[in-house]
Amino acid sequence: MQAGQFTHIVVGAGSAGCLVARRVAENRTFNVLLIEAGPDVDASPASASSVPHGVHDARRVPMAGQSAIFDPKIDWKLEVDVTTGGQMIVPQAKVMGGGSSINGGTFLRHTEADSREWVALGNGGWDFDSSLAVYEGLEDDPLQGTRGPHPIARASIDEAGKIQAAFVDGATSCGLQHIQDVKATGAEGVGPAPVCRRGSTRVSAADTFIGPARSFPNLTILTNSLVDRVLFRDGKAVTVVLANCHKIHATHEVILSAGAIFSPAILQRSGIGPAGLLRRHGIALLVDLPVGLNLSDHPCIPLVARPRPSAYTDTDYSLQMQARWSSSLNPGAIDLQMVCFSYLFAQPVDSSASQGGQPQRSLGGTETGHVAGIGCNVNKPTSLGMVEIRSKDANQMPQVRPNYLSTLRDRALAREVVRTAYAVLMSPAMQTVLAAPLGITSQMVADDVMLDGYIQAQYSTTYHFCGSCRMADREKGGVVDQSGRVYGVKGLRVADASVLPTVPAANTMASCMLVGERVGRSVCDGRSVQKLVKSHI
């Protein structure tokens, strides 16, 4: 790769970065480089043997704490601070396609209330009607009649595993409405999760958007390459520096799509971030921006049990059914979620060797072995955290402090969703497939103090980090404008979960694709993101 060869460099090939690279490369006057820190997932006959284990199997999530078998080289093994002390290990995808290559595949749009928050922060082009038009252009969803490129499938009750079907029966017996499309605008109830798959094959952003573009003469893909920082000339981004010190030049723009943890870290190492933080690490300040602040995530409190004999088979899907609804505190917000899981597997660990002396947590809490149950998610948390580099070294993971459940409101929402989920778990339907819940009793559920103690001891994450490079007016705490352009410099954008202005009331993969699509088209067409008029919707 020679200097000046590339017009655009996209850093990170996750759910957003794959769309950014694809859309920019559709302008054949551009020459695009896509850089990914992890390995490829090319399923072509010539490359299929090197695809990491499990990335194309939609039945399981092939990551630590979820599956007994997984490929450690596609995991960043991120350490996240726990509010009560110590750390927990949070799997983060290090592979082409990012989270879309290893997650449960759930594709949920953000809500109308989310869009109102985003617009209020200065993002007039991100109203719900404009976003909905983009979603519909991406989705191939037979239920909704959309014919975009990315497949959405749902399991019928007849196809569902015994545990999943029992969850729906249990939830309806507790008052939730049975609905077919939890992705529909404003939908509240229980039903099949919309999942990105064809048959039992997971379909990632890399499969849909990069696969057909691999033959583009103006798209180059560089995998297994960690990015350190961006260099500037006269205030314009011109060079990407890899961790091995190799330098790659861009004549037009650099777009960071490394995710809500690693995009802010790259910006901070590049001299863009809080002045005090950069000063501590001896980094020359280029622009003082709140990079790394406003970090958000959906906390998950697991309620788990052992499956009864014959309730689960190895051919069952781990995730098929879920529920979304609004809390008593936030009518219309669709801010609570239950996800039924038939299979989580955490390896037994020596708790005395765990970080901070704390038992290691996973999505199954602190339990080990095969468990099933319900993940209880708070989908509009008010607790905010931060991401900060620990040094100039790109190989050292940043400090991540989400501050889960640190507000009274979030703790009240957590109690509400756990109490609903406990009632579902104890329903006759679910008790036919699961044994008694592990670590929690009806007495604990009924008492606020005892329940808070359980939640603090067991909460985990849904892996939905976002907001750390907020898209907003600069005076409202923004790092980027509504086209992803970083304030105070030229030729640099961010397009991934980190720019989401507030945490969406939904799994974040669809929102990431939305960002990638809109920012990618902005770069491709040379136009700022703006509200889509009715004639274009």
Does residue 510 sit within a domain? yes
Is 449 assigned to a binding site? no
Q: Which of 110, 77, 102, 111 is nearest to 205 (CA)?
A: 102
| Per-residue model confidence (pLDDT) at position 334 | 97
Q: Compare 4 and 422 and report the one with higher pLDDT.
A: 422
Please state, in angstroms and rounded to a whole number, the distance separating the CA atoms of residues 332 and 187. 10
Mean pLDDT, to the nearest integer, of 141-152?
Answer: 97
| Per-residue model confidence (pLDDT) at position 3 | 43
Please state, in angstroms and rounded to a whole number, the distance separating the CA atoms of residues 479 and 500. 11
pLDDT tens digits for 64-121? 888 888 889 999 999 999 988 888 989 999 999 999 999 999 999 999 999 999 999 9
Please state, in angstroms and rounded to a whole number, the distance separating the CA atoms of residues 15 and 337. 22
State which residues form the domain around 476. Answer: 6-58+93-105+202-291+465-528
Q: Are 88 and 360 in contact (CB under 8 A)?
A: yes
- How many CB atoms within 10 Å of residue 71? 18
| Per-residue model confidence (pLDDT) at position 352 | 46
Q: Which residues contact 499 (CB under 8 A, 6 or more apart)?
A: 469, 470, 471, 479, 480, 484, 515
Q: Are 51 and 96 in contact (CB under 8 A)?
A: no
Please state, in angstroms and rounded to a whole number, the distance separating the CA atoms of residues 525 and 518. 10
| Per-residue model confidence (pLDDT) at position 359 | 56
Q: Are 510 and 108 in contact (CB under 8 A)?
A: yes
- How many CB atoms within 10 Å of residue 351? 11
Does residue 97 sit within a domain? yes
Q: Which of 465, 476, 521 is nearest to 91 (CA)?
A: 465
Does residue 331 sit within a domain? no
Q: Which two tokens mark 367? A: 């339990």
Using the Cα atoms of residue 70, residue 75, residue 80 and residue 86 in order, give the sign of their dihedral. positive
- Rounded (10°) CA dihedral 89, 460, 302, 348: 20
pLDDT tens digits for 277-333? 999 999 999 999 999 999 999 999 999 999 999 999 989 999 999 999 999 999 999
Whether residue 166 has pLDDT greater than 90: yes
Please state, in angstroms and rounded to a whole number, the distance separating the CA atoms of residues 115 and 341. 29
Q: Are 111 and 505 in contact (CB under 8 A)?
A: yes
Please state, in angstroms and rounded to a whole number, the distance separating the CA atoms of residues 275 and 166. 53
Is 95 assigned to a binding site? yes
Banded pLDDT at 358 (limits 50, 70, 90): low
Does residue 142 sit within a domain? no
* Residue at 84: amino acid letter: T
Pairing, β 189-192 against β 319-325: antiparallel
**Environment class of 396 (CB within 10 Å of its CB; exposed 0-12, middle 13-18, buried 19+):** exposed
Mean pLDDT, to the nearest integer, of 256-268?
Answer: 98
Banded pLDDT at 360 (limits 50, 70, 90): low
Does residue 229 sit within a domain? yes
Q: Where are the alpha helices (H) located in 240-396, listed in sequence order?
A: 259-269, 275-280
Is 291 assigned to a binding site? no
| Per-residue model confidence (pLDDT) at position 400 | 98
| Per-residue model confidence (pLDDT) at position 47 | 67
Least confident of 58-72, 164-178, 238-252, 343-357: 343-357
Whether residue 354 has pLDDT greater than 50: no
Does residue 392 sit within a domain? no
Q: Are 12 and 98 in contact (CB under 8 A)?
A: yes
The three-state (H, E, C) secondary structure of 260-271, written as one string: HHHHHHHHHHCC
| Per-residue model confidence (pLDDT) at position 245 | 97
Does residue 77 sit within a domain? no
Please state, in angstroms and rounded to a whole number, the distance separating the CA atoms of residues 64 and 354. 15
How much is the mean pLDDT over the chain? 94
3-class DSSP assignment, residue 356: helix
| Per-residue model confidence (pLDDT) at position 65 | 82
Q: Which residues contact 120 (CB under 8 A, 6 or more apart)?
A: none
Please tell me the total number of residues recorded for the chain in this structure: 537
Does residue 265 sit within a domain? yes
Mean pLDDT, to the nearest integer, of 216-221?
Answer: 97
Q: Which two tokens mark 303? A: 């309620």
What proportion of the chain, given as a percentage, has pLDDT over 70?
Answer: 95
- Return the CATH number at 488: 3.50.50.60
The total of structural domains in the chain comes to 1
Whether residue 2 has pLDDT greater than 50: no
Q: Are 42 and 214 in contact (CB under 8 A)?
A: yes
| Per-residue model confidence (pLDDT) at position 254 | 98
For the chain, give me the number of helices (H) and strands (E)?
12, 24
Q: Which of 506, 505, 418 is nearest to 455 (CA)?
A: 418
| Per-residue model confidence (pLDDT) at position 319 | 95
| Per-residue model confidence (pLDDT) at position 6 | 98
Please state, in angstroms and rounded to a whole number, the distance separating the CA atoms of residues 20 and 17. 5
Banded pLDDT at 345 (limits 50, 70, 90): confident
Task: Give the pTM.
Answer: 0.95
**Given 3-state DSSP classes, what are the helix, strand and coil percentages for the chain, each rounded to the nearest 5?**
30, 25, 50
pLDDT tens digits for 24-52? 999 999 999 999 999 999 867 666 667 88
Mean pLDDT, to the nearest integer, of 473-481?
Answer: 98
Q: Are 9 and 24 in contact (CB under 8 A)?
A: no
* Residue at 258: amino acid letter: A
pLDDT tens digits for 113-127? 999 999 999 999 999
